[in-house]
């Protein structure tokens, strides 16, 4: 019953309604969050970047994030989702982290280091998705997401070379990290149950959150950073 | 707000797309400057309001990386471009529907990004010794130049500094900006 593989957008029309709705929710969520991330963090960060090298690298990251939004939106349009449901303000409520506008370069580096790691876990979970257009999109997106996280590592390595830089980066980690574990959704999420039932996603929210905390702790430790206590998931 | 419901100028955007596809992205990096390069460089910097500075050349990728990371770059150059871009974007927003304008610029920049990233990777492989991140930097710079040019043209400005800046990219150069007291081309 739930062993279904949907190889094309055309085939999706014949899939069960619950499957189609679940896939639509994921595509809308990714389209909106990629756009929020680009608008709230990546584009403003260009002004804070300290050198032309860092500015243009940030430009490229911002463009790739906008590009992810474009790709998810294009898939959504093919699936028949109205465009206005895949952009902020008219669509679903944003994640809480997007309510805190960027103020410094160190905050952006902390976000790339830790928030993009969360994004990697989300995309990893789609690499075996039974809806192949979404699986393929995840595969296309993954190298760029890894590059963005590496950006966070590279500039973290630069900042921690001085005690002042390290203190500012640690302060940014302390400010933003507590919001990130909730990125993975609630422990008893009905949506996640449906995603796993149809093998659209593979892991529970709690499993992913636990993995994220472990990996975030490891990557922070590489640069002598610590992670603050986290809030309970919603 | 006259004309705010005007449809985006499809032929103008398509012409720009054709220019982007035809450009010799990063094909002349490290080569000696031509008179055409010098002329475009002088026009670019004069249009931004700078006195004509000395024109310098980056020899190779490590040299370009060193220059772009040096602390003695001129923020005024970046800030002038950014102020101009913001003003032109505001003008364009009075001419076209915001959503359509934003979507067309995002689509153009996404397409351009994929194209120039590949061109930068090819140039880096050919010349050697480029840091992996520098390919992304080059692609970011080139995509930004196309975005700036698109905004200017959609605002009806056909003589902005972004025209001569794009000419440099189209001729295979990478204008690295005003670094120290020089406009440096790679």
The tens digit of pLDDT for each residue in A40-77 reads 999 999 999 999 999 999 999 999 999 999 999 999 99
pLDDT at A2 over 80: no
The number of angstroms, rounded, from the C-alpha of B65 to the middle of its chain's C-alpha atoms is 17
CA distance A41 to A101: 7
**In the predicted structure, residue A14 carries a pLDDT above the cut 70:** yes
pLDDT at site A94: 60
Report how far residue B31's alpha carbon sits from residue B123's, in angstroms, rounded to the nearest whole number. 12
Name chain B contacts of A53, Cβ cutoff 8 Å: 65, 68-69, 134, 137
Give burial (CB, 10 Å; 0-12/13-18/19+) of A122: buried
pLDDT tens for A139-148 read 999 999 999 9
CB neighbours of residue A212 within 10 Å: 20
Cβ B100 vs Cβ B8: under 8 Å: yes
Q: What is the per-residue pLDDT across B154-166, written as a single tens digit (0 to 9) for each? A: 999 999 999 999 9
pLDDT number for residue A234: 44
Residue B7, Cα to own-chain centre: how many angstroms?
Answer: 26
Let me know: does A38 contact A88? Beta carbons within 8 Å: no
Query: Residue A117: pLDDT above 50?
Result: yes
d(CA A160, CA A163): 7
To probe the interface with B, which of A36, A49, A63, A154 has the most B CB atoms within 10 Å?
A63
pLDDT classification of A232: cutoffs 50, 70, 90:
low
Residue B143 reports pLDDT greater than 70: yes
pLDDT of residue A92: 58
- For residue B1, the model assigns a pLDDT of 46
pLDDT attached to residue A209 = 97
Indicate the pLDDT class of residue A93, thresholds 50, 70 and 90.
low
DSSP β-ladder status, B54-57 and B182-185? parallel
* Closest by Cα among A110, A117, A43, A30 to B105: A43
- The pLDDT, as a whole number, for residue A230 is 77
Which residues face B184 on adjacent strands?
Answer: B56, B177
Strands of B175-179's sheet, edge to edge?
Answer: B54-57, B182-185, B175-179
pLDDT averaged over chain A?
93
Report the percentage of chain A scoring pLDDT > 90. 89
Tell me, what's the pLDDT at A101? 84
Q: Do A56 and B68 touch (CB under 8 A)?
A: yes
Contact residues, chain B, for A64 at CB < 8 Å = 113
Query: DSSP secondary-structure letter at B53?
Result: P
Encoded tokens for A155: 């500039």
Q: Do B73 and A51 touch (CB under 8 A)?
A: yes
Tokens of B102: 């934003």
- A30 has pLDDT over 70: yes
Burial B69-100 (b: 16+ CB within 10 A, else e): beeebbeebbebbeebbeebbeebbebbeeee
Write b or e for each residue in A75-98: b if 16 or more Cβ atoms lie within 10 A of its Cβ, otherwise e.
Answer: bbeebebeeebbbbeebeebbebb
CB contact under 8 A, A66 and B140: no
Q: Which two tokens stand for residue A37?
A: 């991330």
* Nearest neighbour of A63 by CB, restricted to B65, B73, B109: B109
Cα angle: B166, vertex B168, B171; to 5 degrees: 110
Q: Tell whether the model's pLDDT for residue A20 goes beyond 50.
A: yes
Taking contacts as CB-CB distances below 8 angstroms, the residues of chain A near B134 are 53
Instruction: Look at residues B88, B83, B47, B87 and name the one whose alpha carbon lies nearest to residue B175.
Output: B47
Judge whether B25 and B115 are in contact, CB under 8 Å.
yes
Among A30, A33, A59, CA closest to A44 = A59
Chain B residues 37-66 within an 8 A CB cutoff of chain A: 65
Could you tell me which of A107, A102, A105 has the C-alpha nearest to residue A51?
A: A105
Q: What is the pLDDT of residues B33-81, one digit of tens each?
A: 999 999 999 999 999 988 877 999 999 999 999 999 999 999 999 999 9
Q: What is the pTM of this model?
A: 0.93
């Amino acid at each position: 019953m739930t062993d279904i593989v949907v190889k094309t957008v055309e085939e999706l029309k014949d899939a069960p309604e619950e499957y189609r709705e679940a896939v639509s929710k994921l595509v809308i969520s990714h389209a909106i969050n990629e756009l929020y991330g680009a608008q709230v963090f990546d584009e403003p960060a260009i002004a804070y970047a300290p050198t032309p090298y860092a500015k243009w690298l940030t430009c490229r990251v911002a463009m790739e994030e906008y590009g992810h939004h474009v790709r998810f939106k294009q898939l959504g349009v093919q699936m028949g989702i109205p465009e206005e449901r895949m952009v902020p303000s008219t669509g679903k409520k944003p994640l809480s982290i997007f309510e805190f506008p960027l103020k410094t370069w160190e905050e952006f580096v902390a976000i790339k280091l830790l928030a993009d790691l969360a994004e990697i876990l989300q995309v990893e979970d789609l690499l075996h998705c039974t809806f192949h257009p979404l699986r393929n999109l995840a595969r296309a997106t993954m190298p760029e997401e890894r590059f963005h996280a590496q950006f966070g590592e590279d500039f973290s390595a630069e900042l921690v070379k001085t005690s002042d830089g390290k203190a500012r980066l640690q302060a940014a980690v302390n400010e933003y990290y507590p919001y990130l574990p909730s990125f993975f959704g609630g422990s008893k999420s009905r949506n996640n149950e449906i995603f796993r039932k149809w093998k659209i996603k593979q892991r529970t929210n709690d499993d992913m959150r636990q993995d994220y905390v472990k990996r975030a702790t490891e990557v922070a430790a590489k640069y002598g950073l610590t992670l603050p206590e986290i809030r309970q998931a919603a | 707000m006259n004309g705010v419901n005007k449809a985006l100028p499809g032929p103008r955007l398509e012409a720009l797309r054709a220019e982007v596809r035809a450009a010799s992205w990063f094909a002349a990096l490290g080569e000696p400057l031509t008179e055409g390069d010098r002329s475009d460089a002088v026009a670019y910097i004069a249009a931004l309001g700078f006195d004509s500075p000395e024109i310098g050349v980056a020899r190779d990728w490590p040299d370009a990386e060193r220059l772009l990371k040096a602390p003695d770059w001129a923020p005024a150059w970046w800030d002038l471009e950014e102020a101009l871009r913001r003003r032109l974007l505001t003008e364009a927003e009075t001419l076209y529907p915001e959503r359509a304008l934003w979507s067309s610029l995002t689509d153009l920049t996404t397409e351009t990004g994929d194209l120039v990233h590949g061109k930068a990777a090819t140039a880096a492989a050919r010349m050697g010794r480029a840091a992996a991140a520098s390919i992304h930097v080059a692609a970011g710079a080139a995509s930004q130049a196309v975005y700036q040019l698109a905004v200017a043209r959609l605002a009806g400005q056909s003589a902005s500094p972004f025209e001569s800046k794009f000419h440099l990219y189209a001729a295979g150069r990478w204008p690295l900006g005003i670094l120290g007291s020089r406009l440096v081309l790679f």
